[in-house]
Amino acid sequence: MAEHRSMQRAALLDAARSLLSEGGTEALTFPALAERTGLARSSVYEYFRSRAAVVEELCEVDFPVWATEVSDAMQRAETSEAKVEAYVRQQLALVGDRRHRAVVAISASELDAGAREKIRAAHGGLVAMIVEALGELGHAEPRLAAMLLQGVVDAAVRRIELGAAEDPTSITDAAVAMALRGVRG
């Protein structure tokens, strides 16, 4: 029975990822989850008490996986500059991934404090990784530089998600150039 419940829970989380990546947080409703999974709406409430609870669990499950992929890419890099490049490229490579799209939709939404705290902690882990590399590159304020760098990454994510005129590779290359060389290009 417990195995069946965990399979249903996993199916609900997967349906939530799809709904979020297709339509953002507005699309994540209990009727839509019930329809996607073939469960009764009342059954959905047995697993999650609210939309925020669904979001919070997705954060707990997906964010660490995503952060690990970025971390692994950075650890494979030989130099501080290559670590910065890996940090940018890996985040942008994950844009097409449904987990990433769900995470982006979640980040943009109105969340309760618990979910926001989990996102902040996961983001904090990513930022901490890059602070060290930026310090090694000689930044006087590596933490500030890290926050600004994440702003460049977030802008590139939005640009790719919008299906902008440029192809994702050009956007990624431009974001890497901005990260490494600033506006000099």
pLDDT at 109: 63
On the question of pLDDT at 122 being above 80, the answer is: no
Say how many CA atoms lie within 13 Å of 29 toward its Cβ: 6
Q: Tell me: the pLDDT tens digits for 61-100?
A: 888 888 889 999 999 999 999 999 999 999 999 887 767 7
pTM of the complete model: 0.76
Residue 92, SS3 per DSSP: helix
pLDDT at 154: 86
Spatial contact of 156 and 100, defined as CB atoms under 8 Å apart: no
Nearest Cα neighbor of 89 from 73, 65, 103 is: 73
